């Protein structure tokens, strides 16, 4: 919506966000953005909670804030640290893949036939009504294939969570499958990583297959009654 805005600064922001995030490798973005976001939060907290701090925050390569500004606090329970890291990871994924999704939606909005928009305007609909009643309902037909591909990529990208300190399913498969002492299990065992990763293979294949079925049914529902190739195919079957 920002990229489609007629207000120049808003449009620049939307298009700039899409272009910049899509042009940066995911790993580099994860490594940089998470550190910058975490330090940004601590910097704001430091300015509020420790206004009389005498030392510089940035000391060479070190970023030092007062104890009260740490996020989360050093004496916070372990689950608070894990939850904070998880939400930082989710937010980072949203920023990265949101740019790709925004580009898909932007192209889908432009794919809606202009005669339908002109017809809505001829019926007296304003810009807001045309957008929500004509463009948005129809754009999903054009956007869903791209969003479906993006969903598949996102499923496969979840192992990148280990870069953010989140212990994901791949991490636990590697840890539990390796030769272990009773630290993780009640008895030591050999190297079972091959079997754990084989189970992960089956899991990811099953998950993507379920996603394909769900996306296919969603597409059939969205194209019902619309002047698209999918809608035309449904009409022929019904006839």
Kindly list the averaged pLDDT for each block of 10 residues, start to end, along the chain of length 239: 86 89 79 80 85 80 80 78 81 86 88 86 87 85 88 81 72 74 62 82 89 87 64 55
**Closest listed residue to residue 222, CA positions, set 152, 145, 153:** 145
The H or E element containing residue 63 is: strand 62-63
Which pLDDT value is given to residue 20? 85
- Using the structure block, give the residue that is written with the tokens 């190297």: 191
Peptide bond into 3 cis (omega under 30): no
Which pLDDT value is given to residue 227? 58
d(CA 213, CA 79): 36
Helix axes 169-177, 193-222, angle to 10 degrees: 160
**Closest listed residue to residue 29, CA positions, set 105, 97, 104:** 97
The number of C-alpha atoms within 13 Å of 227 and in the hemisphere containing its C-beta is 6
**pTM score of the predicted model:** 0.70
Phi and psi based region of residue 156 (left: phi greater than 0; alpha: psi -120 to 50; beta: remaining): alpha
């Amino acid at each position: 919506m920002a990229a489609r805005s007629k207000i120049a600064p808003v449009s620049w922001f939307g298009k700039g966000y899409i272009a910049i995030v899509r042009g940066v490798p995911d790993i580099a973005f994860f490594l940089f953005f998470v550190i910058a976001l975490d330090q940004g939060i601590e910097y704001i907290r430091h300015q509020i909670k420790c206004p009389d701090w005498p030392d510089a925050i940035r000391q060479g390569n070190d970023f030092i804030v007062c104890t009260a500004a740490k996020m989360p606090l050093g004496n916070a329970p372990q689950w608070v640290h894990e939850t904070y890291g998880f939400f930082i990871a989710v937010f980072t994924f949203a920023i990265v893949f949101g740019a790709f999704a925004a580009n898909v939606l932007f192209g889908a909005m432009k794919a809606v036939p202009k005669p339908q928009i002109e017809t809505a305007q001829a019926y007296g609909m304003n810009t807001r009504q045309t957008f929500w009643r004509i463009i948005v309902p129809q754009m999903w037909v054009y956007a869903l294939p791209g969003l479906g591909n993006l969903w598949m990529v996102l499923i496969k990208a979840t192992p990148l969570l280990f870069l953010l300190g989140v212990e994901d399913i791949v991490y636990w498969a590697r840890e539990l499958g390796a030769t272990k002492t009773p630290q993780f299990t009640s008895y030591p065992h050999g190297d079972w990583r091959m079997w754990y990763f084989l189970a992960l293979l089956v899991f990811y294949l099953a998950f993507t297959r379920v996603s394909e079925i769900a996306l296919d049914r969603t597409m059939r529902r969205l194209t019902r009654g619309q002047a698209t190739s999918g809608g035309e195919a449904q009409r022929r079957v019904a006839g």
